Structure 1
Amino acid sequence: MININVGGRNIVADPKRLLIAGYTGKDQESVKKHIDELKEIGVPAPQQVPMIYDLSTNLITTNKTISVIQEGSSGEAEVVIMKIEGKWYLGLGSDHTDRDLETVSIQKSKQVCSKPISTQFWSLDDVEDRWDDIEMRSWMIVDGVKKEYQTGKLGEFLNPKELLNIIEERGFGSEDMVVFCGTLPIKGGKFIYGEAFSAELYDRVTDEKIQLNYQVHILTDAEAV
């Protein structure tokens, strides 16, 4: 069960599916460039665009700390849409991923890391008409220093209805679910690893923000002791 807040109202969600959508940019030339950049660091090219990764719902968390097995993992800010009893809500999440394992299997690299999400959500119906103008930013905290990691607007991504049509066409069903809608390019094009991750969505029309902050705890490697 997941508790979220929408306009001061508490809603309990019980998602039956977690989907991570990748390569969801509207600008396909930029998507191709991103794929080529990933190939250069050993990440295999997707079999189709966009890719939809079907993961375990128990990865979803609102905890302020997640645990990982090695230093080579990092977050990525993503818009999250959540279907609860037939209605869609919009929030913020991080597709935290094991970057070493990503060169072997993208699916496995995502499955081994928790997926933090915000507790604050907006009704998708309320913001869908200004989706393109909502801003998203993220920061990595490295040795106590906050470094800007990603910045852009949701207009860079497929509209949520377009993405949901693709999800339906691929047979993922219509049950209550959580969908990560894609991420922005990383500044400088290189992953940064740190002790914490921070992100926000900002709606200039209402001057409202959704924020996400979490710490990264690296587990002790028993085989290295």
Structure 2
Amino acid sequence: MQMYSNGIQLQWEPSRLIIAGYTGKDQKAVQQHIDELKELGIPAPPRVPMIYDLSPELLQVTEEITVVHNHSSGEAEAVLLDVYGVWYLGLGSDHTDRVLEATSIQKSKQVCLKPVSSQVWPLDQVRDYWDEIEMESWIIKEGVRHEYQRGKLGSFLNPDELLHILRERHYESKGMAVFCGTLPLHTGTFHYGGTFVAELRDPKKGSTIQLKYDMKLLKDAEEA
């Protein structure tokens, strides 16, 4: 996997992929999100934060993903990457099968690629003002751009807190990629298909990390 940080190329492959769920600092807001998902048929988690261990090859720098049915959607997330012992911050999408999610959250995440930005920032560069970093996502369908998510990383656990929880639960950090949690949906409902666009913005330096990918629908063999 080829990535860039401050103009320097990083050639790296993850050895572990972790999706952390329900990582909000505000537990009332976390419960609101859980209730929101329950209304969509997704069961409440047994503990928070939840840690989903996925196949690392799902993490891809890509401009297109393929799915069989049009019932999957993306979610913008800050992503921590342990690249040869140095932590970086990137932007990813926890693309998830929403029908399967009602049966098994882990399986619903495992069946979809996880697009990630090619641009990353050294975590030490932004650690002191993590809370101020802005994240936003949109869905583009038929040429119309719809706001999907918007907020700041201050809504989530501090990265050091999250990594501490992972160590306590015996997840080895070497070569690990960690999705840090997602923001509530602006519309309250999932959007399927189209193009997913997201940005991570550093308000101090004025720099931006962007992520954009199309969703391509494969021909369903059972409907052919």
- 2:130 counterpart residue number: 131
1:199 aligns with 2:198: yes
- 1:215 counterpart residue number: 214
Q: Deviations over 1:119-144 (max 9, x none)?
A: 00000001000100000000011222
Distance 2:173 2:159 in 1: 14
- 1:156 counterpart residue number: 155
TM-score (norm 2): 0.98
Q: Do 2:197 and 2:210's aligned partners in 1 also have CA atoms closer than 8 Å? A: yes
Q: Deviations over 1:17-65 (max 9, x none)?
A: 0000000000001101111111111101111100000000110111110
SS at match of 1:149: strand
Distance 2:106 2:89 in 1: 24
- RMSD over aligned CA atoms reads 0.7
Distance 1:30 1:89 in 2: 27
Distance 1:47 1:69 in 2: 30
SS at match of 1:188: coil
Gaps of 5+ in 2: none
- 1:37 counterpart residue number: 36
User: Shift of the alpha carbon at 1:158?
Assistant: 0.3
The alignment covers a number of residue pairs equal to: 224
Q: Do 2:14 and 2:57's aligned partners in 1 also have CA atoms closer than 8 Å? A: no
Q: How does 1:79-158 map to 2 (within 5 A)?
A: 79-158=78-157
User: Shift of the alpha carbon at 1:188?
Assistant: 2.2
Distance 1:103 1:180 in 2: 21
One-letter amino acid of the structure 2 residue matched with residue 92 of structure 1: L
